[in-house]
Chains A and B, each alone.
Chain A
Amino acid sequence: MATPIPSRRKMLQVDFFTPAHRLSTQVNVYGATLADQLNDPRVSWINLEMAYISRIEKPGEIIADYAISTLRKDQVSLAMVSGSTDGAVKKIAHASTFFPRLLHRVWVATGAVEITGHIELTGKLDLSTLLVAPAERFMQVIHAVATSAFFPATQYNAELILVNKDAIQVFCAEEKGKPVPQE
């Protein structure tokens, strides 16, 4: 009897923000993660399934919807995952090491959006290492609140925001981190 081929289809609900638009959509992460897709340097575009498009100044109003669409990754300011982050990023194994993993509170501005939340790091916080050195284009901010800089009453809560480092205009962080709570 033939062994069934396991489905690689795994859909993730994501809100993408460009400087002008919000796209509520689903991404097929194919058994990998959203972060993997966004950080893959070989591909400039990310394919979306059923995109619902709003303008940034009226983010609750849907102006168009399309079954198939694609998005230039370098034009994405941030990708927001509100519900379960399963399939969004790789789970980090909290093995006991000499340097504990610490949560640092951060404030990030991308021009249109201000983000407050936490980043998780091992060892001492070094901004140039964090922002410049790693190959990953998108940085993970967890337990995040994003506020529209032009419409501050508009706020978004998200378990995870992947922020495009190329879109970051200002990055601030608390130097001293707090230990990551044990699960």
Chain B
Amino acid sequence: MARILVIDDDLDLLEMTRMMLQRGGHEAILTGDGMDGIVKAQQLRPELAIVDVMMPGMNGYQVVRKLREDPATADMAVLILSARAQSVDREAALAARADAYMAKPVSPAELLQTVTDLLERRSQASLPANLMTSVFSLRGGVGTTTIAVNLALTLQQAGRQVCLVDLCQKSGHAAIQVRLQAKMTWADALLQINNLSPEALDQILLRHDSGLRVLASPFLPPARPPAGEAIARLLTMLKPAFGATVIDLGTLDDVGRTAILSSDFVLLVLTPEVASLQTTAATLRAIKALNVPDGHVLLVSNQVALRPGLSPAAIEKALGRKLFANLPYDEAQLEALGQGVPLMPGQFNSPLAANVRQLVQALAAARSARTPSPAP
């Protein structure tokens, strides 16, 4: 769900747009005046603004230019919606630095699709380059691998070159979930880590049809746990080579600690049940002891069973921190696991896939909130 500002002096159209957006699960902020729209954008920081061109006083192009001039609103996605429907009008909209232009009248489906595209484009644009994210839980069966796989595929579909790293030490399932046979694994990379060339690493990475690269885990656990230093070297090679790296992580040993300290974000996954809460509370304490900055660890509740679990409010109260994402139960995911075909991109609109896309947008927002604003 996104917060969307709609600026249009046609009050009937404003109301219709609100209904369309709400039907698509978005929050609509409405105003009939360009200047008021700018003030609302500064105060409420919507992700997207839909701006009419022909408005009295301040026209839509002037509104967009003002939004772009202000650092507080410069990154907002902007869609121009106008009855001036000629190619010169599209050019004028893009010259004013709108992200997209649509001629009125628009169908609800067209509008929602454009809004979805713009929000996704914005989220990938605002994600930092070479983002490394660990999806982590000490408790099995909470869906860590499923989230890691779908997160990686969502980022890949958004135009990133992504590497999915399965750092589970006991027959990780990341490769299986995307139907890849792991001929070589990170164990092979670690054997030659001191002399590992980018070309040799490339040979070890599996290649999915989507373009996603996968560093699989060995089927059998290694005789000796890998050294954190070797893992650090491996991750140091991967991070600059990919637009995003997603790590599937299930231990807090040397490997886990290294991965967590190397990551920009740690998505700590739990299920809404008491036992998972207890594990998560203990994990949070252990991560805190590593001096990981507080904003780097983000809680993700994943409803893996149909039966209702603890409410998000109860989880937040018990753990003393906000949930970053609350992923719903998705029957399609069970079928996806059975067939070895991940939800993304085939079942783009399944509840879990839709929520993972929102998770990517939230990561982008969290990353930009962490980045200090430029001085006015």
Contact = CB atoms under 8 A, between A and B. Distances in A.
**A and B together in one complex:** yes
Interface of A: 13, 15, 24, 50, 52, 59-62, 65, 67, 82-83, 154-157
18 contacts: A15-B86, A24-B83, A24-B84, A50-B56, A52-B53, A52-B54, A60-B88, A60-B89, A60-B91, A61-B61, A61-B92, A62-B59, A83-B85, A83-B104, A154-B88, A155-B86, A156-B87, A157-B87
B105 interface: yes
B88 A65 contact: no
A83 B106 CA distance: 11
Contacts of A60: 84, 86, 88-89, 91-92, 95
A156 B86 contact: yes
Nearest to A65: B56
Interface string B177-189: 0000000000000
Contact of A13 (B56, B83, B95): B83
Interface string B89-129: 10110010000000111000000000000000000000000
Interface in B303-328: none
Given A24-B84, A155-B86, 6 more contacts: A15-B86, A52-B84, A60-B84, A61-B61, A67-B56, A83-B104
Nearest to A63: B59
B85 A62 contact: no
Nearest to B57: A65
B85 A65 contact: no
Contacts of A157: 86-87
A61 B84 CA distance: 11
A50 B88 contact: no
B59 A65 contact: yes
Contacts, number: 47
Contacts of A154: 88
Interface string B38-69: 00000000000000011011010100000000
Q: Is the interface of B mostly helix, strand, loop or mixed?
A: loop
Contact of B59 (A13, A52, A67, A83): A52
A175 to B, nearest CB: 31
Contacts of A50: 54, 56
Contacts of A15: 84, 86
A82 B89 CA distance: 13
5 shortest interchain CB distances as A-B pairs: A60-B92, A60-B88, A82-B85, A59-B88, A156-B86
A39 B161 CA distance: 62
B359 to A, nearest CB: 39
A24 B105 contact: no
Contacts of A67: 56
B251 to A, nearest CB: 59
Contact of B54 (A24, A59, A155): A24
A77 to B, nearest CB: 16
Contacts of A62: 53-54, 59, 61
A60 B103 CA distance: 14
Nearest to A24: B84
Contacts of A65: 54, 56-57, 59
A67 B88 CA distance: 23
Contacts of B95: 60
A132 to B, nearest CB: 32
Given A52-B59, A62-B61, A155 B87 contact: yes
B59 A59 contact: no
Nearest to A25: B54
A114 B93 CA distance: 25
A35 B332 CA distance: 57
Nearest to A148: B88
A66 to B, nearest CB: 8
A156 B84 CA distance: 11
Interface in B287-311: none
A36 B81 CA distance: 30
A56 to B, nearest CB: 11
Given A60-B95, A62-B59, A62-B61, A82 B54 contact: no
B316 to A, nearest CB: 49
B136 to A, nearest CB: 51
A158 to B, nearest CB: 9
A2 B294 CA distance: 70
Contacts of B105: 83
Nearest to B105: A83
A154 B91 CA distance: 10
Interface in B159-182: none
Nearest to A67: B56
